[in-house]
Amino acid sequence: MRVIALGLGLLAFLVRAFYLLESADNPFRRHLILDAAFYDGWARGIVAGHAPGGPFLQAPLYPYFLAGVYAIFGAHPEAALWLQTLLGAATVTLAALVAGRLWGRGGALAAGLLLAFYRPAIFYTGVLLVPVLATFLLALALVLLPRRPLLAGLGTGVAGLAHPLALAGGLVALIGMLWAQRTPRAPGVSPWRALRRPVLTALVGVIVAIAPATIHNLARGGGLTPIATNSGLNLFIGNGPSASGYFTPPPGLGSDEDLHGILEASRLARRELSPTQASRFWSDRAAAAISARPGHAALLFLRKIYLFLFAYEAPQVESLDFEKRYSIALRLPFLPGWALLAALAAAAAVAARRDRFLLAMLVAVGATALATALFFVTARFRLPAHLYLALAASGGLVALAHTPLAERGRWVKALGAALVTILLLVPNWARVATPRTFGNAHLQLGLIAEREGQADDAQREYAEALRFDPQLSHAAINLGILSARGGDLDRAQPLLEQGVALDPRSARAFLALGQIREVRGDFAGACSLYARAWEADSTFAKGLEALAVAIYLNGDVARAESLARDLLRRVGMRDRFVLRCVGLLSQINERRRYGWPLATTRARAEGDVAFAERDFARAEDAYLRAVVQEPGDLAAWLQLVNLAAARNDALEYADRMSRFVQAGGTPDVARRFGTQRRPE
């Protein structure tokens, strides 16, 4: 049996190794996004000696697993993917051993082949996410039963540290396996009493495995958080007002900058929240949404159970349906998917309905579905359940193989159950909008291209994303911003307006629309849009900077000064984008110190902004217009003196110095500022 299991594991390794090699050009593997990028950054921080300063934001095992790989092989995600190839192959071997122990060689072969060629398992080998590691640990736990329940419990608990939702199915599978493999009891002893000790021992193992994360969170201000603080946000995404059953983050969430919703929760709560407080905030909002519409919440829960069982591989960060374009292996037509496993398991339930182990595996699948339905459905949440489904299917196949053809009724019922399952799970009864998957994938490709400075490629990807999903606000906004940068304002404006209609929380879109208005000379309209950007996101400092400058250009110096000082209090001097406000404040302070009027003409205000931007040619032109309009404008004359001195134009310097003095300026002031040189 071990030889068969090892051979199946080798087969699985070769399949996965072929997939990794032939799909090496997959851009999503070279450019990590969202959760994968977060895990990678977390792992690099661990290797560098930077332990998490607060409670765990996400389940901690996978980043520590990556950190171990990086410490040995260097910070190369590819090394982790090859190790996942070994873990995937080991999972097949372990599952074959379990099935062989129960159903002999036939069971081992059936389970091993189903798992070795299972398309989603092959796909996740090449994704820097948790499912492969979690599934391996769950398979290891099954192998350790029933003789080592403590170690099996530890394995299940450690799997929960990688994939918390896997705990539900893991616990049910653990207890179900102990129940299915219990030894004959003494007369008068109840079956539950005979199971009590091994079950309690296994549960102790689970608790011991999870305890370090719980203690860490408690010590770091996370309260009694068993594993991670992102549960509240996930609960809201799955049950909030805009929940669909899949991962559909509400406006303001789901970005790299606020992956765990802490900033957004703080904004809505109007105070800074800790990760634990933010989790509680989102949990409370989820509970409020459920209480407000209990009937809708119940129907949504049932829909999510169906979506979990549905043949569609629901994407989140990753998309098998889209990424198979980069892989020959994933496009092979004979590879089994969820629907085939589910159909075989349904046939198994009929063919071997008295098999306690088979029943335990099916209940484990159901427990995983119920736990997932509390939140939202995605393929990586479902992947660990394929282990139980394949084991159940292998048991049924063995039972059918040993069923004489003369027992036609049993065969007909089994085939009928398989057919009904396919009819329920394969057609798109739930009307899942699969094109949205491709729209989001093209959006991510656009982000990758933009990150690499390939603006034309990024625009093509964003346009393609909108073709698949016109409701994709992020694509409309990014395409609008790139169009504006390229000078095509007529194309940019409607795209940005479409973006803010879909996502009124997009401060970036309001900022870009304001800049278009400003370029077109509508400063009042620009101020209004900059104010909306700041209102949409009070952490978007660029919106505040643009608002302060636009208000200055409109002549309201006092308010502009107040906003600029507020900006510097918030971000300090660490970002270059605040230089305009720094320059304006310097000029305001200079004029206040010499008792000059702070009120400004439009021309002088334009000169001040250009000077702060280090655009000295534009500044000089604006200041010259200012002194034509107001010959006594000391501030404008002083800047003209300064500009002449900066380019070492002695004649121009002398002429402007004279005019400055004629306007009422003090020669000492002009000489002091006239010695300045243009900054490099």
Q: Categorize the per-residue pLDDT at 679 as very low, low, confident or very high, splitting at 50, 70 and 90.
A: very low
Q: Indicate the pLDDT class of residue 255, thresholds 50, 70 and 90.
A: low
Nearest CA to 144 among 193, 105, 181? 181
If you search the block for the tokens 């790139």, which residue do you land on? 482
Q: What is d(CA 184, CA 464) in angstroms, rounded to the nearest whole number?
A: 64
- Give yes or no for a contact between 340 and 347, defined as CB atoms under 8 angstroms apart: no
Burial class for 109, CB neighbours closer than 10 Å (0-12, 13-18, 19+): buried
| Least confident stretch, 42-56, 61-75, 337-351, 530-544 | 530-544
**Least-confidence region, from 404-413, 592-601, 653-662, 670-679:** 670-679
Residues in Cβ contact with 105 at an 8 Å cutoff, skipping those fewer than 6 apart: 1, 4
CA distance 408 to 421: 20
Structure confidence at residue 544 as a pLDDT band (50, 70, 90): confident
Q: What span, in angstroms and rounded, lies between the C-alpha atoms of 642 and 266?
A: 46
184 or 525: which leads in pLDDT: 525
Residues 160 and 170: beta-carbon distance below 8 Å: yes
What pLDDT does residue 189 have? 55
Distance of CA 90 to the CA centre of its chain: 29
Query: In terms of C-beta density within 10 A (0-12 exposed, 13-18 middle, 19 or more buried), how is residue 320 classed?
Result: buried
List, in sequence order, every beta strand (DSSP E) within 280-428: none
Q: What share of the chain is helix, strand, coil (3-state, %, to 5)?
A: 75, 0, 25
Q: Is residue 135 pLDDT above 50, yes or no?
A: yes
pLDDT at 409: 75
Confidence of residue 675 (pLDDT cuts 50, 70, 90): very low
Provide the residue type at 578 as one letter: V
Least confident of 2-16, 100-114, 431-445: 431-445
d(CA 254, CA 241): 16
Q: State the Cα–Cα distance between residues 642 and 669, nearest whole angstrom.
A: 11
Instruction: Name the token pair of 154.
Output: 């530890």
pTM, entire model: 0.85
The angle subtended at Cα 215 by Cα 209 and Cα 219, nearest 5°, is: 160
For 566-620, what is each residue's pLDDT tens digit? 888 887 766 777 888 888 888 888 888 878 888 888 888 889 889 888 888 899 8
Q: Is the pLDDT of residue 678 over 50?
A: no
pLDDT tens per residue, range 136-179: 999 999 999 888 999 999 999 999 999 999 999 999 999 988 88
What is the mean pLDDT of the segment spanning 45-59?
88
pLDDT value for 406: 65
DSSP 188: T
Which secondary structure element, helix H or strand E, spans residue 566, and what is its range? helix 557-571
pLDDT for position 525: 87
Candidates 171, 232, 166; CA nearest to 200 is: 171
Mean pLDDT over 635-647 rounds to: 84
pLDDT of 249 strictly over 80: no
- How confident is the model at residue 10, as a pLDDT? 96
- Range of 24-28, 53-57, 254-258, 672-676 with top mean pLDDT: 24-28
Q: Which of 87-101, 176-190, 506-520 has the lowest mean pLDDT?
A: 176-190
CA 425 to chain CA centroid, nearest Å: 28
Reduced to 3 states (helix: H, G, I; strand: E, B; else coil), residue 434 is coil
| Percent of the chain whose predicted confidence (pLDDT) is above 70 | 94
Q: Rounded CA gap, 587 and 565, in Å?
A: 13
Mean pLDDT of the chain, nearest integer? 88
pLDDT of residue 192: 66
Average pLDDT estimate for 550-571:
87
pLDDT tens profile 269-279: 888 888 888 99
398 pLDDT tier (thresholds 50, 70, 90): confident
User: Which pLDDT does position 340 carry in this prediction?
Assistant: 93
Residue 669 has pLDDT above 70, yes or no: no
Burial code of 388-401, b = ≥16 C-beta within 10 A, e = fewer?
A: bbbbbbbbbbbbbe
Residue 224 has pLDDT above 90, yes or no: no
Give me the pLDDT at residue 120, please: 96
Per-residue pLDDT at 405: 65
Residue 263 pLDDT class (50, 70, 90 cuts): confident
Task: Tell me which H or E stretch contains 169.
Answer: helix 166-180
Highest mean pLDDT, choosing among 184-193, 353-362, 469-478, 595-604: 469-478
| 98-102, 429-433, 613-617, 665-669: range with lowest mean pLDDT | 665-669
pLDDT at residue number 24: 92
